[in-house]
Structure 1
Amino acid sequence: MKDTSKHQGLRNQLAKQLEEKGIIDKNVLEAIKKIPRHLFLNSSFEDFAYLDKAFPIGAGQTISQPYTVAFQSQLLEVKKEHKILEIGTGSGYQTAVLCVMGAKVFSVERQNELFKTTSLLLPKLGIRPKHLSFGDGYKGLPQYAPFDSIIVTAGAPFIPQPLMAQLKIGGKLVIPLGEENQIMTMLVRKNETQFEKHEFGEFRFVPLLEDKN
């Protein structure tokens, strides 16, 4: 598992590119510079790891485009020790970005193959989420709620009610909503019953699958 100065140079270039595309959160950019994205990909993609592109990671899933990871992370306005629920661990790259930003990450993955791979990979890279879980993301992790924020890393046809219930008052839920293409959507919990909705344009994600284990 090599991480060379060449890789570091490519990461710095990637961070610069993301900044030019409108990512201004310094903590997000620093995390992108630190995390060896090439180690989250099949070695045949290693040469392309620092392009701003999504790539397949097996089990019909993808590692998100770095811009998408950075954009969602920026929307969360992560503070140190923030308790964040991530729906869709996938490759673990988004998990790593949030951990490096100082968050306590609780993550759920419904593909057993990815769950096993990522559970082994993250500790090897010195990245330690608070909890990795194999299960149905639509249900969240009620036993660990409430969360400062919730991030969904797959396209959802609707906002799952359990996730809204697990959000702290003042907390943010960032979710790509839609079937074919998705609208990046953020809900801010105002009180027990009210949420404020914001939309941030179109993105493309693999679908969030329900109860397929």
Structure 2
Amino acid sequence: MPSDPTSIDRENRDDSDALLRGQMVDRQLAGRGINNERVLDAIRRAPRHQFVPKRLQDRTYDDSPLPIGNGQTISQPYIVGLMTELVDLQADDRVLDVGTGSGYQAAVLAELVDQVDSIEIVETLAKDADQRLKSLGYKNVRVHHGDGYAGWPSGAPFDAIVVAAAPDHVPPALIDQLAPGGKLVIPVGDRLQSLMLIEKRSDGEVVRRKVAPVMFVPMTGEAEK
């Protein structure tokens, strides 16, 4: 029986993208200091091309953010790797992803933990990301439509929170929803933004440190008030 040409083309594309992802990880992540092997392997597995608009497929593996519509972006691969490495995930961690966007960061997190809650303020993006993640087999991601400034109280406390939009201050709800020993990584600022790592120690003390200058889309909704 003759092979299905469409199936062969798809398999060839998948093989090609796997090769390009491997090169991206080696050059853009490992080559710039990301050394957590679990994180690198997760990014090798997550099919980034499935989360990039078709018109930008030739830029899938550029080390830069790309527009996905509605004024939002998919973060550059290095930043996804850095933020994921900073929260230092364990398989049984409860994770909140704020700013679902295309769903790519959620997919990378889902490669590392059993359950991810992801929240997106733009309803069409939330619906599209939910369908995309399910179609790709990510059954351990729950996408919610809502304002990430308030976190996701019904899922708290979280061992890790990863935020992909920049408020001008750290939302108090996200710190409240962080479990003792948990980590929050978030871009903070207006024109000048810093990636912040916030840790809640076992005694409840909150420790903050700046990691790197970044540029994210601004957080909308309650954060704008």
Q: Please, what TM-score do these two structures have when normalized by structure 1?
A: 0.95
Bigger mean CA deviation after superposition, 191-200 or 70-79 = 191-200
Give 1:45's aligned residue.
56
How far is the alpha carbon of 1:191 from its aligned partner?
A: 4.7
Amino acid at match of 1:33: R
- The residue correspondences of 1:172-183 to structure 2 (distance < 5 A) are 172-183=183-194
2:180–2:204 Cα contact (<8 Å) kept? no
Query: For residues 61 and 106 of structure 1, what CA distance do their matches in structure 2 show?
Result: 19
Aligned partner of 1:146 in structure 2 is: 157
Q: Which residue of 2 aligns with 1:110?
A: 121
Please report how far the alpha carbon of residue 181 of structure 1 lies from its aligned counterpart in structure 2 after TM superposition: 3.0
Percent identical pairs in the alignment equals 37
Contact 1:79 1:103 in 2 (8 A): no
The residue aligned with 2:23 is 13
Equivalent residue pairs, number: 212
Regions of 4+ moved over 4 Å: none
Are 1:87 and 1:108, in contact at CA under 8 Å, matched by a contact in 2? yes
- SS in structure 2 of the partner of residue 180 of structure 1: coil
Q: Is the 8 A contact 1:91 1:114 kept in 2?
A: yes
Amino acid at match of 2:23: Q
Residue aligned with 1:170, SS: strand
Question: Which has the larger Rg?
Answer: 2
Alignment of 1:189-208 (within 5 A): 189-191=200-202, 193-208=204-219
CA contact (8 A) 1:150 1:174 kept: yes
C-alpha RMSD over aligned residues: 1.5
Q: Can you give the 5+ residue segments of structure 1 that lack an aligned partner in the other structure?
A: none
TM-score by length of 2: 0.90
Q: Secondary structure at the match of 2:213?
A: strand
Amino acid at match of 2:184: L
Answering whether residue 38 of structure 2 is matched by residue 27 of structure 1, we say yes
- TM superposition shift of 1:48: 1.3
The 3-state SS of whatever aligns with 2:221 is coil
